[in-house]
Structure 1
């Protein structure tokens, strides 16, 4: 309910960054639900597409990267290890370098967010 209200407020404000953040919140809500990975990825991918017309900025890069990480987690929950790893390296990592260590819309997205899943994989997580 809170994610939906945030989405409505962002739409009313006509603020694409806040709207992306509302989708990021909703994506995380879906990831926490049994079988919600597919819908979470759809929500995040849709939000990334909506950001395409927004002028480039560090704020946009951070929101896109945070949304890409929702898709990475959704892929991992669906045991699509290769897709998760590919998205992490090809989409999220370049955005993390662009955004730097930031806390745009409370996503705390940056290079550390890319480093943590890679550490998990190297420590024995991921494909088995």
Structure 2
């Protein structure tokens, strides 16, 4: 329970505290998981710690951490609980996105495929308690992988399979809409990007306001959009609280 509380604190403070405090929380969460000596808890610690590594520029270390954690629980999967399988899948989605951000196309889709196979072995409406791994989140991540690989056509094609209503997390619904906005911007379609950012903000204003990548995209749209949509872009920037030069 202590490890879970630290992991929750790590997620909440990811973009809102000094880096030193964030890493103290992350490290204590990992130590608590080691003391618990529970496979699910240890895998969760790797997932949470990997988030910190990835977002601070240590992609290779993040991939290594989640890979090792996934391999450690793989032998247990045959008779595993749904939550352990869910964590296994979440680790592979984590690796898929990290590989995609590094431009490793084959590795990214290899990890996504493993997560996809795992999701197929779980109930269709299953969602892991705090990683939200399940069928819907796996489909959402396919969009993210496509965007991070800078293949917007693939991302938009994958988006045809997603069902927003199947995702219990409003944050994840908003994040995938942000990803669709990123895909449209990659295609140099400001109208499409602005449309999806507006929907993302409507789904979860907090997600857009407090996620750096989403804030950055709103600011870019406010600066770059021309013509009749300029007013809409500036209005969204004002709502989100970013400055548009």
Structure 2 length-normalised TM? 0.46
**Equivalents in 2 of 1:49, 1:85: separation in Å?**
18
Q: Distance in 2 between matches of 1:115 and 1:28?
A: 20
Deviation of the 1:53 alpha carbon: 4.4
- CA change 1:33–1:112 in 2 (3 A) is same
**Rounded Cα–Cα distance in structure 1 between residues aligned with 2:45 and 2:143:** 28
Tell me which of the two structures has the higher relative contact order, counting C-alpha pairs closer than 8 angstroms and 6 or more residues apart. Answer: 1
State how 1:1-128 maps to structure 2 within 5 Å: 1-34=24-57, 36-54=58-76, 55-89=79-113, 91-100=114-123, 101-104=126-129, 106-120=130-144, 121=146, 122=154, 123=156
Structure 2 residue ranges without an equivalent (≥5) = 1-23, 147-153, 158-182, 184-245
In the alignment of these two chains, the number of paired residues is 123
Q: Structure 1 residue 18: deviation in Å?
A: 0.7
Q: Do the aligned residues in 2 keep the contact of 1:17 with 1:60 (CA within 8 Å)?
A: yes
Say if 1:20 and 1:48, in contact at 8 Å, map to a contact too: yes
Q: Alignment RMSD, CA only?
A: 2.0
Q: Is the 8 A contact 1:96 1:111 kept in 2?
A: yes
